[in-house]
Amino acid sequence: MQFKFTRRKFKEDPTIVKHWRENSKAIEKFQFVYNFIPHPTRKKRATLLSNKAIFVYCGIIILVTAALRIVPKFFPGVLGYASNIVVKDLLYYTNKDREEANLPDLRLNAKLTAAAELKAKDMFENGYWAHVSPSGTEPWDFIIGENYDYIYAGENLAKNFSTSKEVVQAWYSSESHRSNLLSANYDEIGFAVVNGVLNGYETTVVVQMFGRPREPSMVASVYEENKVLEEEANKTTAMGQEEQKVPTAQKVITSVTSMSKPKVDVTIATKSLTLVFGGFVSSLLTLDLWYSKKMGISKFSGQTFAHLTMLLIVIVSVWFVLKPGLVL
Amino acid sequence: MENIKEHLTEYIILFIALFIFLVLFIVFRFDRSAQTIISGAGSIFYILWGIIHHAIRERISRTIVWEYVLFGLLIFLLFYTVLSF
């Protein structure tokens, strides 16, 4: 309304020219709005929607992403993934999936749990994320190291997840991991949920180890399972009361906790970046659509509505579909 | 909305493609590599859609081609920033 009024006034009252000439700042202020709305005479989009501006946004996003990659190398542990993963819930969701597939529940075994814990700590200490360590140590070495005599054994890994349910869901969605989850060859299971700094990022690693003992009579009883669960719960409670960090040769590992709270949560940081840029450009495009229609501005440019639709799809996908976490 | 009515066929193609991409995104929600490929394919599709759309209507210029390339790049980068962590 303001600009329409000014132009009408200009036609009716030529003295307004004098006013503009004497007030260069007023002209600057008048021109400033064209950073946000399309120019009616130039028939162009807002300056902040120009190709140059979009190029700059792309550059900023690349720089921020690079910074999020570089920062952990200089300040390990500052960036990370917040999580709340509990062994009891991991066992519950695993057995729930097995029940739905008409398979017997897996029992929590103390030796497999200890082997899983050793594997998780080994990954933090030696800075790797793999089934086989850089020195060639295999998952079976940890299981045998705990004197677990097996005929079948398997391992699933997960990191950067927020909840126990998401971890099991991710394993279930991957064919190779699902074959472990739903294998009739296993009777027992062991979990480790360990927080620490892996490759500069504070994260929670989950190790799931499966096994069938050579002697069927060796399968853990309900009593033994409850004992393991109790021990896990006690460790979690102790960690909640007091921050217990176990210094190793090079890294700092928080042993068997359920909560991880880094200073900067990478998931929230990256999602916020998407929302800020996607939201800002979407708002400008909406303003462009509305103002162009209102003022009858016909621009020689790309389809504003299509750009807007694409950006809204990005925002919705990033916020509601994308979940953090990797499985191996 | 008049704009959409004017370019109905092109917009129907775009919306169908977006729906397919969204469904694929949900199906592969635990597979980061697949999601990166889907977002890359979606961005390339959008660039091509824009260029073809304007070429058909003989309203194409170098600036418009760059506009679609930059918007396609922006869309991919927004996805990639989240998917790469």
Task: Tell me, letter by letter, the H, E, C secondary structure of A204-269.
Answer: EEEEEEEEEECCHHHCCCHHHHHHHHHHHHHHHHHHHHCCCEEECCCCEEECCCCEECCCEEHHHH
What confidence score (pLDDT) does residue A246 get?
41
Q: Provide the b/e sequence for A229-253 (b: ≥16 CB within 10 Å).
A: beebeebbeebeeeeeeeeeeebeb
What confidence score (pLDDT) does residue A95 get?
92
Which structural domain range is residue B16 located in? Answer: 2-84
What confidence score (pLDDT) does residue A52 get?
95
Overall domain count for chain B: 1
Q: Nearest CA of chain B to the CA of A270: how many Å?
A: 5
Q: Nearest CA of chain A to the CA of B16: how many Å?
A: 12
Q: How far are the Cα atoms of A35, A40, A78 from residue A19, in angstroms, in the given order?
A: 23, 22, 55
pLDDT at B25 over 90: no
Q: Do B71 and A55 touch (CB under 8 A)?
A: no
Quick check: ipTM above 0.90? yes
What confidence score (pLDDT) does residue A12 get?
59
pLDDT classification of B39: cutoffs 50, 70, 90: very high
CB A192 within 8 A of CB A256: yes
Chain B residues inside the 8 Å CB shell of A325: 30
What the block records as the tokens of B63 is: 């600036």
Q: Give φ, ψ of A264 to 5 degrees.
A: -125, 120
Q: Please indicate whether residue A25 or residue B41 has the higher confidence score (pLDDT).
A: B41
pLDDT at B54 over 50: yes
List, in sequence order, the alpha helices (H) in chain A. 2-12, 15-22, 24-32, 51-74, 87-100, 110-126, 139-145, 164-173, 175-181, 222-241, 266-295, 304-316
Query: What is the 8-class DSSP label of residue A318?
Result: I
The Cα–Cα gap between A259 and B66 comes to 47
Which of A42, A49, A51, A162 would best serve as a mutation to test chain B binding (most B beta carbons within 10 A)? A51
Question: Mean pLDDT in runs of 10 for chain A (328 residues)?
Answer: 51 67 69 83 86 95 92 81 84 92 90 91 89 89 88 90 88 89 91 86 89 78 74 62 42 48 81 92 93 83 89 90 79
Q: Nearest CA of chain B to the CA of A100: how many Å?
A: 20
The DSSP element (H or E) to which A191 belongs, if any, is: strand A188-198
pLDDT classification of B72: cutoffs 50, 70, 90: very high
The Cα–Cα gap between A318 and A275 comes to 9
Of A169, A174, A274, the CB nearest to B82: A274
What confidence score (pLDDT) does residue A215 get?
77
The Cα–Cα gap between A249 and A244 comes to 16
Residues of B (29-58) whose Cβ lies below 8 Å from A:
29-32, 35, 46, 49-50, 53-54
What confidence score (pLDDT) does residue A267 get?
84
What confidence score (pLDDT) does residue B75 get?
96
Q: Across residues B1-12, what is the average pLDDT?
A: 76
pTM over 0.90: no
